[in-house]
Structure 1
Amino acid sequence: MFKFAAILATVLGVSTGACAQTYPHKPITLVVPFAAGGTVNLMGRLVAQRMGDVLGQPVVVDNRAGAGGTIGAGYVAKAPADGYTLLLGSMGQAVQPLLYKRLPFDGTKAFVNVATFAAVPNVLAVSRQAPARNVAELVSYAKANPGKLNMGSAGIGSINHLLGAIFMDRAHVAFTHIPYKGASSATTDLQAGQIQVMFANLPNVLAYAQAGSVRILGIAADKRSPVIPDVPTFTESGVNDVVVRSWYSIMAPAGTPPEVVKKLQDTVVGIANEKTFAAHLADQGAYPFPGSTAEATALMDRETQRWAGIIRNANIQMD
């Protein structure tokens, strides 16, 4: 019996090692759990192209949008844990277990956060018609006219929504939340003046701000962005403790062989440290954010703890 167990362990060990040595031997699917047009999709396509170059196999982006990213995440959670179906991870995976009473997967155990590779600052953008040229003016107007300003977001529980909730709490103002089915639709209505306020990933609104169709009043960071150096931080503008970055990672189903996870980690972190990749990110208002599996896992835990109280206090919940 013991001899058989030893032989089996040896065979399994050799099999796993051989799998890692030959990985990948076919195309990889990277599931982006949101529709095309947003920052998550953009980051996914940037890293997928470079991963394909480094790994020697195509990395095909598969957009599986819906239900706040849970449809795409659920698809990956149920996929074979062999490294050939991956998830473009973000803060969404940290907050999904907090927002949804019934998930089709265990959000705390279904994935391994392989590595982070990029991050973007979040900003406060307003329409050209908004009665404010800076954060102080916006806060003053909102206090005098509670609920009159409409705040668009990519949906209930999205980063736009959550950041807006933090800002309203810290600035003691009230906007009327208008959830959309994606950031692109909200941004379109921001340009048209249908909504007046939107908290957004910088890449989502950068081109529109440069064209003059929207105004960026503040940035949710501890320092100004070199991409928009004239835009002050919220702290500079008198609204404290509103620092929120959006980060992006590669995730794999739980149970993926450690050797495969290690190869993916080294690949993704290596890409994040490339100067040419950093330049591509900078063009979009993003920046490199390399992090190992251990670092990415710890980040996910911190984010979940941070947002739990915010979501509870704002009474944000999905069905």
Structure 2
Amino acid sequence: MKHSAKVLIVLLAFSLVLFGCGSNRSSSPASPSQSQGGQSSAPSASASSEAQEEEIVFPEPGKPFYLTTNYGPGGTLQRSQQDFQPFFEKELGTQVIIEYIEGAGGLIGYNTVFARPADGYSILPNSATFGPYTYPHLSEEKPPWKYEDWLPLGIYSDIPNSGIVVKKDSPFKNFADLVRYARENPNKLKLGTIGPGRIEDIQIIELQHVMGIRVRQIYYEDGGSLFTDLLTGDLDAIVTAALQYVDSPDARILVMLAPEFPPEFPYPELDNLSKFPEELGFSMDQIKTLAATHFNGFVVKAGTPEPIYRKLVQTLENIVKNPEWQQKVKDYRYPKWIPPEEAKKLYDRYYEGIGEMVKLRDQYLQQQ
């Protein structure tokens, strides 16, 4: 294990602060140096020429780093964390511990890390189905933190995955057929998903809003019963993680809920939403959650000192660009580095779109 990385931070002390004057306030909610209340933790550089250099060691010798997992052991998330573990240890030069803090659909893990100091020693996974942008809108128990209380470290895997799936012999030959039927027959189309409270639930609301349709939205507790009812004809279509059915003998993917396919997408023959705006009379600019890809990333608590935050971002980038890590995860992840600045734009749009659709959800359900 290599020596702990040392990060230098220069803290400027001002005579104005010493005499009781207020410090400047940052307007960006994503600033790593920002405190929870929005107050900048770094003083203005224009007030004084006096400077004090303080050396920050991160990680400190003998202090472990935590890959906090907000779901219990088992499944793809655990596997992902285990595959990350040795690479984080090599990059950071310290012990990396995977801890499991489950409950409330992953919210308890976020709440626990939020209660800890913003020192960069605990990071959390996020994905298209859970994260700081979903919990404030979708959790039954509202979190004790805000969306702005978390900072993205970057996205490490990204691929279109959500889609609409129908039976092999469905009369709907493509997405346009389904939308036209729903427009002509309000509340007749039986559309199922796992929920309520998951992102697929919100995607069905946005589908109705953007396409000008009303459907019978039916919730299921698990994917097995959801798919069974599709095959028995109790459902006309389902919104789900669609790629698992790409080779199914009993079902087919009607459309991928994606704005476009990246060059590395393994099934370019499938339809995506970009094929239908002119035919169905909608704009891709209207879509915020419906075309969300299946991304995976990490976040850290806001207020983490900026040099430590930048160290974590660089660490994650180094791992994602490491061919050895890419080879290790290629059968269940789609390695792609998206830096935190771009990730934040995606999360902002996601957070805004979910909030808008939640306001419509109860209204639509009452109209069924």
Question: Shift of residue 46 of structure 1?
Answer: 5.2
| Aligned mate of 1:267, from 303, 315, 326 | 315
Mapped partners of 1:124, 1:227: distance in 2: 18
Matched, 1:301 2:355: no
| Aligned mate of 1:126, from 159, 166, 176 | 166
| Aligned mate of 1:227, from 240, 263, 266 | 266
Partner of 1:288: 336
Q: Which residues in structure 2 correspond to 1:166-185 (within 5 Å)?
A: 166-181=206-221
Contact conserved, 2:72 with 2:100, CA < 8 A, in 1? no
Q: State the SS of the aligned residue for 2:310.
A: helix
TM-score, scaled to structure 2: 0.66
Partner of 2:4: none
Give the direction of change, closer, same or farther, for the CA distance of 1:84–1:223 in structure 2 (3 Å limit). same
- State the identity as a percent: 22
Mapped partners of 2:167, 2:109: distance in 1: 32
Q: Which residues in structure 2 correspond to 1:1-319 (within 5 Å)?
A: 13-14=54-55, 17-18=56-57, 20-22=58-60, 25-33=63-71, 36-37=74-75, 47-48=84-85, 50-52=87-89, 54-55=91-92, 57-60=95-98, 62=100, 64-67=102-105, 69-91=106-128, 92=130, 93-99=132-138, 103-121=142-160, 122-128=162-168, 130-181=170-221, 186=226, 190=230, 195-201=235-241, 205-224=242-261, 226-237=265-276, 238-239=279-280, 240=282, 241=284, 242=287, 243-275=291-323, 277-278=325-326, 283-284=331-332, 286-292=334-340, 294-315=341-362
Contact conserved, 2:72 with 2:102, CA < 8 A, in 1? yes
Contact conserved, 1:24 with 1:55, CA < 8 A, in 2? no
Give the direction of change, closer, same or farther, for the CA distance of 1:298–1:156 in structure 2 (3 Å limit). same
Give the direction of change, closer, same or farther, for the CA distance of 1:166–1:156 in structure 2 (3 Å limit). same
Give the direction of change, closer, same or farther, for the CA distance of 1:181–1:30 in structure 2 (3 Å limit). farther
Mapped partners of 2:78, 2:275: distance in 1: 31
Mapped partners of 1:117, 1:281: distance in 2: 11
Question: Shift of residue 117 of structure 1?
Answer: 1.8
Mapped partners of 1:76, 1:230: distance in 2: 42
Question: Shift of residue 215 of structure 1?
Answer: 1.3
What letter matches 2:66 in structure 1?
I
Contact conserved, 2:191 with 2:217, CA < 8 A, in 1? yes
Partner of 2:42: none
Unmatched 5+ stretches in structure 1: none
Question: Shift of residue 154 of structure 1?
Answer: 3.4
Mapped partners of 1:277, 1:136: distance in 2: 40
Contact conserved, 1:154 with 1:161, CA < 8 A, in 2? yes
Question: Shift of residue 42 of structure 1?
Answer: 6.5
Contact conserved, 1:131 with 1:141, CA < 8 A, in 2? no
Question: Shift of residue 100 of structure 1?
Answer: 5.4
Give the direction of change, closer, same or farther, for the CA distance of 1:55–1:196 in structure 2 (3 Å limit). farther
Contact conserved, 2:67 with 2:81, CA < 8 A, in 1? no
Q: State the SS of the aligned residue for 1:235.
A: helix
Give the direction of change, closer, same or farther, for the CA distance of 1:138–1:117 in structure 2 (3 Å limit). same
Larger RCO (CA within 8 A; separation ≥ 6): 1
Question: Shift of residue 281 of structure 1?
Answer: 6.0
Question: Shift of residue 28 of structure 1?
Answer: 1.8
Give the direction of change, closer, same or farther, for the CA distance of 1:102–1:211 in structure 2 (3 Å limit). closer
Mapped partners of 1:164, 1:140: distance in 2: 16
Mapped partners of 2:235, 2:85: distance in 1: 34
Question: Shift of residue 231 of structure 1?
Answer: 0.7
Give the direction of change, closer, same or farther, for the CA distance of 1:112–1:177 in structure 2 (3 Å limit). same
TM-score, scaled to structure 1: 0.75
Aligned residues: 301
Contact conserved, 1:31 with 1:85, CA < 8 A, in 2? no
Question: Shift of residue 265 of structure 1?
Answer: 0.9
Unmatched 5+ stretches in structure 2: 1-13, 19-50
Question: Shift of residue 31 of structure 1?
Answer: 1.8
Give the direction of change, closer, same or farther, for the CA distance of 1:244–1:207 in structure 2 (3 Å limit). closer
Contact conserved, 1:219 with 1:232, CA < 8 A, in 2? yes
